[in-house]
Amino acid sequence: MSQTLNVHVRVNDADTGKPTPVRIRIGGPNGEYFAPLGRPAEFPVGRGEDVGGHVYVNQKRYGYIHGGCEVPLPTGVPLSVEITKGPAYIPILETVTLGEGQLTLRFAIRRWTTGPWNDLYSADTRCHFLTPHSARLEAAAEGLDLVHLLATVHDYPSEDGHRYRIVPNLTAFSGQDEAIPGVVVNTLNVHPTLGRLALLHCHRPVYPLTFGHMDETDDWSLSDWCEQCHRKRGLVVWCDAYRPQAGLPGGEALVNAILGKIDAIEIDAQDRAAPFLPMWYRLLNAGMRVPVVGGSGKDSNRIALGGARTLSPATRDTSPYREWVEHVRAGRTVATNGPFVRLTVSGETFATRVMQDAPGPLRITAEAASIVPLERLEVIANGEVIAATSPTDGEVRTARLEVEHTLPDGGWVAARCWGPARSELYPHAPAFAHTSPTFVVVSGRPTPRMTAAVASLNRDVEAVRHWIDTEGRFTIPKRKEHLLSLCDAATGKLAGRP
């Protein structure tokens, strides 16, 4: 006869033999979830609702633990155990049956990354509504070195019948330092039509955190946010780019990207109605140098922290956050939801620029490795696939491409890999990874601007101008003039004028 026992579960890192944070699920024969003590078996999954300490993915509930926990478990029945620690570890998937009086379960989770795959720094550029300590636990359990917890305005419906505008985590703002090890608290600044910006490594909160909502005017600009963030070496990341809920196609965020005021563009783990890559490639093909970063955008228990993340070279100094900021600013990044990918151009990995005195073949090597299924590894030049291969099968899928390619007028190259389906680890989108571009400059000439990309961007800038003229709510005429002048400057830059 089955009985229920409080079983001590421990998960060690196979290399160190010490307990390590993980995401864990122990399920019963009928699909029930046995939660660790202190964790609810049922929890809300709406935006901003009790975010942190647990997650709901693959239509199953999981808990986050520091490496050990107690779980009330039945004896004598098969129990499914799922334990993960991000894309650098081999998941544990086992079936166990507790014997009478058995009070312990022990597991060891193994890292597969070796060599260059082990020499990377992993960061999530955006999450919301967790506490800093929950963010730290989930980051460690998902194999992240750094997580950016962004305070943002949130409408909270109270039981007293009022809807309050609150800003969770603003009092934990840490700016250019870590609030606690591995967690930095900054802000997400939002206009409902013109765009959304993550202001990272910012020396102070930049107000207003929002403008342009129903009870606000449009007497501000995203450009003001950018300039104040940059004043002391902050980092501006364009979030929710080209999403319908973010307003205009591109909006003023696009204008600022054209003007060089955006340091990076984010791809996240949220559902997306329109593809991201063609929109980003337009910017690159128009000569705009905009690196890519990965951030989960986690704002509920339906998204796993690290479900999209940024890989960069491993930090070497005593200020890893500041070094990470400079890697992003330079474009030494990979955005991924699991697979690892590397690009080497002319012998340099994470190269941001290659100078050629005259047109000649580039030596390009792309490599990928992944525990989630992959279908293709590709090398991209000026938006077109120039080489592709399929990965090997096995516990870790690997692929490698070596190609020589000439860009007579210059341009950019990148590597990407993708999978056929959503992975078990991060099922928010099909598996993918993409490097930031390496720009190729030939004979000192400016980066070429492709006519179709420039024309498309001009149309989006004109849409912003039309909105300013017809829908913007300005009480200060100079603010409207300022926004129109930004559109003029973007149009001029697209035309090649200084």
Structure confidence at residue 386 (pLDDT): 98
Per-residue CA distances from 82 to 53, 63, 93, 95, 429 (Å): 16, 11, 5, 9, 20
User: Tokens in use for 260?
Assistant: 């060089």
Number of neighbours of residue 97 by Cβ within 10 angstroms: 12
> DSSP state, 496?
T
User: Is the pLDDT score of 215 beyond 70?
Assistant: yes
Rounded CA-CA distance 82/93 in Å is 5
CATH architecture of 114-332+449-498: Alpha-Beta Barrel (3.20)
What does the pLDDT average to over 270-288?
92
Cβ neighbourhood burial of 213 (10 Å; 0-12, 13-18, 19+) = middle
Question: What does the pLDDT look like over 407-437, one tens digit per residue?
Answer: 999 999 999 999 988 888 999 889 999 999 9
- Among 95, 100, 82, residue whose Cα is nearest residue 11: 82
Structure confidence at residue 220 (pLDDT): 96
Number of neighbours of residue 61 by Cβ within 10 angstroms: 22
Q: Are 301 and 45 in contact (CB under 8 A)?
A: yes
Question: What does the pLDDT look like over 42-99, one tens digit per residue?
Answer: 999 999 999 999 999 999 999 999 999 999 999 999 999 999 999 999 999 999 999 9
Question: What does the pLDDT look like over 143-157, one tens digit per residue?
Answer: 999 999 999 999 888
Fold agreement between 4-111 and 114-332+449-498: no
Residue 210 half-sphere exposure, CB side, CA atoms within 13 Å?
17
Structure confidence at residue 319 (pLDDT): 82
Q: Which residues contact 12 (CB under 8 A, 6 or more apart)?
A: 18, 19, 20, 67, 106, 107, 108, 109
What does the pLDDT average to over 197-217?
96
What does the pLDDT average to over 352-373?
96
Per-residue CA distances from 399 to 288, 368, 392 (Å): 30, 5, 6
Average pLDDT, the chain: 95
Q: 134-138, 159-163, 230-234: which has the minimum mean pLDDT?
A: 159-163
444 versus 9: the higher-pLDDT residue is 9
pLDDT category of residue 1 using cuts at 50, 70 and 90: low
What does the pLDDT average to over 480-488?
98
User: Tokens in use for 483?
Assistant: 């926004």
pLDDT category of residue 21 using cuts at 50, 70 and 90: very high
Q: Are 216 and 182 in contact (CB under 8 A)?
A: no
Edge-to-edge strand order for the sheet containing 104-111?
A: 68-74, 4-13, 104-111, 89-90
Structure confidence at residue 273 (pLDDT): 79
Please give the share of the chain, as a percent, with pLDDT higher than 90. Answer: 89
Number of neighbours of residue 182 by Cβ within 10 angstroms: 19
The top-level CATH class assigned to 4-111 is: mainly beta
Question: What does the pLDDT look like over 440-469, one tens digit per residue?
Answer: 999 998 888 999 999 999 999 999 999 999
Question: What does the pLDDT look like over 83-105, one tens digit per residue?
Answer: 999 999 999 999 999 999 899 99
What does the pLDDT average to over 23-42?
95
User: Is the pLDDT score of 119 beyond 80?
Assistant: yes
Question: What does the pLDDT look like over 174-196, one tens digit per residue?
Answer: 999 999 999 999 999 999 999 99
Domain ranges of the chain: 4-111, 114-332+449-498, 337-447
Structure confidence at residue 447 (pLDDT): 85
Phi, psi of 289 (to 5 degrees): -95, 95
Fold adopted by 337-447? Immunoglobulin-like (2.60.40)
Question: What does the pLDDT look like over 307-362, one tens digit per residue?
Answer: 999 999 997 677 899 999 999 999 999 999 999 999 999 999 999 999 999 999 99
In the chain, the N- to C-terminal Cα span, in Å, equals 81
Structure confidence at residue 420 (pLDDT): 84
> What is the model's pTM?
0.95
Q: Which residue has the tokens 């002319």?
A: 346
Residue 128 half-sphere exposure, CB side, CA atoms within 13 Å?
20
3-state secondary structure 191-220: ECCCEEEEEECCCCCCCCCECCCCCCCCCC
Tell me whether strands 104-111 and 4-13 are parallel, antiparallel or unpaired. parallel
Give residue 342's Cα distance to chain centre: 17
Residue 67: which region, alpha, beta or left (left: phi > 0; alpha: psi -120 to 50)? left
Rounded CA-CA distance 106/16 in Å is 15
Rounded CA-CA distance 172/451 in Å is 47
Number of neighbours of residue 488 by Cβ within 10 angstroms: 12
- Among 296, 305, 309, 303, residue whose Cα is nearest residue 340: 309
Cβ neighbourhood burial of 463 (10 Å; 0-12, 13-18, 19+) = middle
User: Is the pLDDT score of 166 beyond 70?
Assistant: yes
Three-class DSSP category at 117: helix
Residue 67 half-sphere exposure, CB side, CA atoms within 13 Å?
12
